[in-house]
């Protein structure tokens, strides 16, 4: 997979992709993350990429020309005709595990990060194919949202995780939250690990975990249960 990220502050994206699973996936050649500076596509000698909003109001708006030109330059190398070009915006559809799964199926995705008051509406109308929000709050920079999207998508690429089974039980993978996890020591400050986990009985352990996942989901996120994610038995 190749992920192209268009942004104003590439330095912000330098370190998050140099650790853990994304780093390993890059090293294994499973994903290539290419960061482009929108300023490089400004024709202004001061590399200005924003301007005042028409109609007045606070803040600055990212101009359309550098964003269109950056995208067109990438399209000369990569055919994005059937691939998602995604604007990161608090006005987009909510980024969920389901959306991450959907994006992970693509060979390439492009992420456009806004800043200041956001981007000129013509980018939204005539350039992007999708708009994604990572939650109902406002960040200062699309780069932060891009980090979240890249991490959630890359861990779903086959081979990215150390254990290929680990994302099957992750929260939100099957409509449930994950069961409680414990590690050594068996007793810590008098608090003990549930005895079933020490029993060695894999059938019992699987059943306990499944029950815990259901209880946890009902208690913490009844909205998930209401979405019809639970089977009759669950």
* Closer of 16 and 118 to ligand SAM (Cβ): 118
Crossing angle of the two packed helices 20-27 and 142-154, in degrees rounded to 10: 70
Is 170 noted as a catalytic residue in this protein?
yes
Placement of tokens 């005895």 in the chain: 195
| Nearest distance in Å: CB 137, ligand SAM | 6
Is 90 noted as a catalytic residue in this protein?
yes
232 near ligand SAM, rule: CB under 6 A: no
107 by DSSP, 3-state: which? Answer: coil
Question: For residues 150 and 147, what is the distance between their CA atoms, to the nearest angstrom?
Answer: 5
Interface with ligand SAM (CB under 6 A), residue from 125, 137, 181, 228: 137
Interacting span for ligand SAM (CB under 6 A) from 17-25, 117-125, 169-177, 214-222: 117-125
191 near ligand SAM, rule: CB under 6 A: no
Interacting span for ligand SAM (CB under 6 A) from 40-48, 78-86, 135-143, 208-216: 135-143
181 near ligand SAM, rule: CB under 6 A: no
The backbone torsions φ and ψ at residue 193, rounded to the nearest 5 degrees and listed phi first, read -75, 140
157 near ligand SAM, rule: CB under 6 A: no
Cis peptide before 185 (omega within 30 of 0): yes
Question: For residues 123 and 100, what is the distance between their CA atoms, to the nearest angstrom?
Answer: 23
Contact (Cβ atoms closer than 8 angstroms) between residue 156 and residue 167 = yes
Binding site residues, ligand SAM, CB under 6 A: 88-91, 113-115, 117-119, 133-135, 137-142, 145
């Amino acid at each position: 997979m190749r992920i192209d990220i268009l942004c104003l502050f590439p330095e912000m994206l330098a370190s998050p992709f140099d650790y853990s699973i994304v780093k390993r996936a890059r090293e294994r050649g499973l994903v290539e993350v290419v960061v482009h500076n929108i300023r490089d596509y400004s024709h202004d000698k001061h590399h200005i990429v924003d301007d005042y909003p028409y109609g007045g109001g606070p803040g600055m708006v990212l101009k359309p020309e550098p964003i269109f030109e950056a995208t067109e330059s990438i399209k000369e190398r990569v055919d994005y005709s059937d691939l998602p070009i995604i604007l990161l915006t608090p006005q987009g559809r909510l980024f969920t595990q389901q959306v991450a799964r959907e994006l992970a199926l693509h060979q390439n995705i492009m992420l456009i990060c806004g800043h200041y008051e956001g981007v000129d509406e013509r980018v939204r109308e005539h350039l992007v194919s999708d708009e994604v929000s990572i939650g109902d709050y406002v960040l200062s920079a699309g780069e932060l949202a891009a980090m979240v999207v890249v991490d959630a998508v890359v861990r779903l690429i086959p081979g990215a995780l150390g254990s290929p089974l680990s994302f099957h039980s992750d929260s939100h993978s099957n409509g449930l939250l994950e069961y409680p996890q414990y590690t050594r020591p068996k007793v810590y400050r008098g608090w003990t690990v549930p005895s079933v986990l020490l029993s060695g009985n894999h059938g019992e352990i699987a059943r306990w975990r499944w029950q815990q996942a259901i209880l946890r989901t009902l208690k913490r996120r009844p909205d998930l249960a209401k979405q019809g994610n639970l089977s009759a038995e669950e």
